[in-house]
Structure 1
Amino acid sequence: MTSSSHFTRLPSRSRADQVRDQLGEAIKKGIYPVGAKLPSERELTEMLGVSRVSVREGMRSLEAVGLVEVRHGHGYFVKATVRRPTIDVMKWLGEHRAEVMDMMLVRGALDELAAGEAARRADEEHRTAMRVAHDAFVAAVGAGERDLDTLANLDIAFHLAIAQASGSPLLVDLLGELHQHLREARSVGFTPAGRLDLSIAEHQTIFDTIISGDVQGARTAAALHIAHVREMLIALQA
């Protein structure tokens, strides 16, 4: 039986983000455990006082961060709770969209420059540091690591190893600051299905081109990686 007592009726101005927040809180509190069927669109429109469009958009946000799955013809079901902190992050991301996209644009330019300079200037010590950082990320994903903070730290370590290999202390400082400011967005970025595997493949390409001394190839690989991240973040906020 579905009870409306777990929800608060939303004012008429409420939209999809508030639908997402209320459902996310209900999942986090265990009201709907993994595998549980969520209320239907019709039930949610009545309980929350919003349109079906808002309900669908809210559900799409929950699906994007891996909390909900759609079983066509059967409804919405809770998929997992391991990533539930990203509900708050998704809210933060929506509120800071323009700022995040601006920082990602700058990060892309700096990452591209760092990769090119690393391909030109990296010594054996730098190559080893990049390899160790890359292998650590691959090993964590392969072992089933899904703690977003842990994955973010490993991802940052790889990109900073490239910055350090560039030989520019300024690039290291600038990218270090950007990586910290973008930590919340980075966590969201790991949640879509297949994103971690794609990151590994793109990291491998960046690493390979740097090791081979292919300056333009390294710049292109880094630029493509960040472009894909930006596209994914935009899609999550749609």
Structure 2
Amino acid sequence: MARDIGDRIKKLIIERRLPSGAALPTEPELMALLGVSRNSVREALKGLQAMGIVEIRHGFGTYVGPMSMAPMSEGLAFRTVAGHLRGEDSLRQLLALREAVEAGLIARLAGRMPAADLAELDGLVTRMAREAASGAVAAQTDRAFHAVLYRGLAIPLLSEVLDAFWEAFHRVQMDLVAEATVDPRATWHQHREIVVAVRAGDAVGAEWAVRQHFDNIRQRLHSSGTK
């Protein structure tokens, strides 16, 4: 029942083209529109709030939520941890999913990336070199690199999905993977090779560099004994 009402509220948001932050009809109005009880409306709204579709502000009303990928990140992270504890190779599966998306997109950027984005990537690669010399490339530097890299595709939904993949993978990795001995200079070098290939318009070389980067992550998982 609550799911059906939730679907009807989602349909209402779509049909009225309500943006994030827009006020939804009041509870009495939803009761009249949907022909259901107050408890049924409240139960449905709580379910939608858990998904980030609506935001309930007690004393003020209900609004269209941010529609972010946060629930997706939470779901991916939970699924991966639960699978790992059942003996599945869930972390590798999540890594393979992220690799498939990124390797499949990189060719579209080769020779087409704006100069400003390339300059920003150069700066991040330089930061990686400094961090590698100190012993480890920071996770946030890696995250920033991939965010800037695919920003040039100008697909906001894609950026959110990739960020959700990254967030879920690294949260799970920190919880489950013991510290492994991996040369951080390899991480720096692989990111540098990605930029070199993209700048040169070398689609094949760019994809190869991306896959080398993911191979490096797989080696880290293997050396830590993680499935």
> Normalising by structure 2, what TM-score?
0.55
TM-superposed CA distance for 1:186, in Å, is: 5.2
Residue 92 of structure 1 and its aligned partner are, at CA, apart by: 9.1
RMSD over aligned Cα atoms:
2.8
What is the aligned partner in structure 2 of residue 154 from structure 1? 141
Query: Which residue identity lines up with residue 206 of structure 1 in the other structure?
Result: I
* Structure 2 CA distance for partners of 1:193 and 1:98, relative to 1, 3 Å: closer
The structure with the larger Rg is 2
Q: Secondary structure at the match of 2:145?
A: helix
CA distance 1:176–1:92, shift in 2 (3 Å): same
Structure 2 counterpart of 1:114, which letter? L
In structure 2, what is the equivalent of residue 215 of structure 1?
A: 203
Instruction: Kindly state the Cα deviation for residue 98 of structure 1 after the two structures are TM-superposed.
Output: 2.5
Shift of 1:145: 5.6
Q: 1:121 to 1:189 in 2, by over 3 A?
A: farther
**1:179 matched residue in structure 2:** 166
Q: Secondary structure at the match of 2:144?
A: helix
Shift of 1:100: 1.3
Displacement of 1:99:
2.3
Distance 1:193 1:231 in 2: 10
Structure 1: segments with no counterpart, 5+ residues: 1-90
Whole-angstrom distance in 1 between the partners of 2:103 and 2:178: 21
Counterpart of 2:106? 115
Which AA in structure 1 matches 2:180?
P
* Equivalence for 1:8: none
**2:181 aligned to which of 193, 197, 209:** 193
Name the aligned partner's letter for residue 211 of structure 2: A
1:184–1:225 distance in 2 versus 1, CA, 3 Å: same
Q: What is the distance in 1 between the residues matched to 2:196 and 2:151?
A: 17
Cα distance, 1:218–1:211 mapped onto 2, change above 3 Å: same
- Residue in structure 1 matched with residue 154 of structure 2 by the alignment: 167
**SS across alignment from 2:180:** coil
Counterpart in 2 of 1:124? 115
For residue 226 of structure 1, what is the amino acid of its counterpart? Answer: F
Q: Does 1:236 align with 2:227?
A: no
Q: Alignment partner of 1:237: what SS?
A: coil
In the superposition, relative to structure 1, how do residues 185 and 235 fare at CA in structure 2: closer, same or farther (>3 Å)?
Answer: farther
Matched-pair contact (CA < 8 Å) for 1:189–1:233: yes
Distance 1:99 1:189, change over 3 A: closer
| Structure 2 gap segments, 5+ residues each | 1-80
Letter in 1 for 2:85: E
> How far is the alpha carbon of 1:165 from its aligned partner?
2.6
The structure-2 alpha-carbon separation of the partners of 1:214 and 1:102, relative to structure 1 and needing over 3 Å to count, comes to same
Q: Which of residues 192, 215, 218 in structure 2 aligns to 1:227?
A: 215
Superposition pairs of residues 72-111 of structure 1, within 5 angstroms: 95=85, 98-111=89-102
Note if contact 2:187-2:216 (Cα within 8 Å) is conserved in structure 1.
no
Equivalent AA in structure 1 for residue 98 of structure 2: R
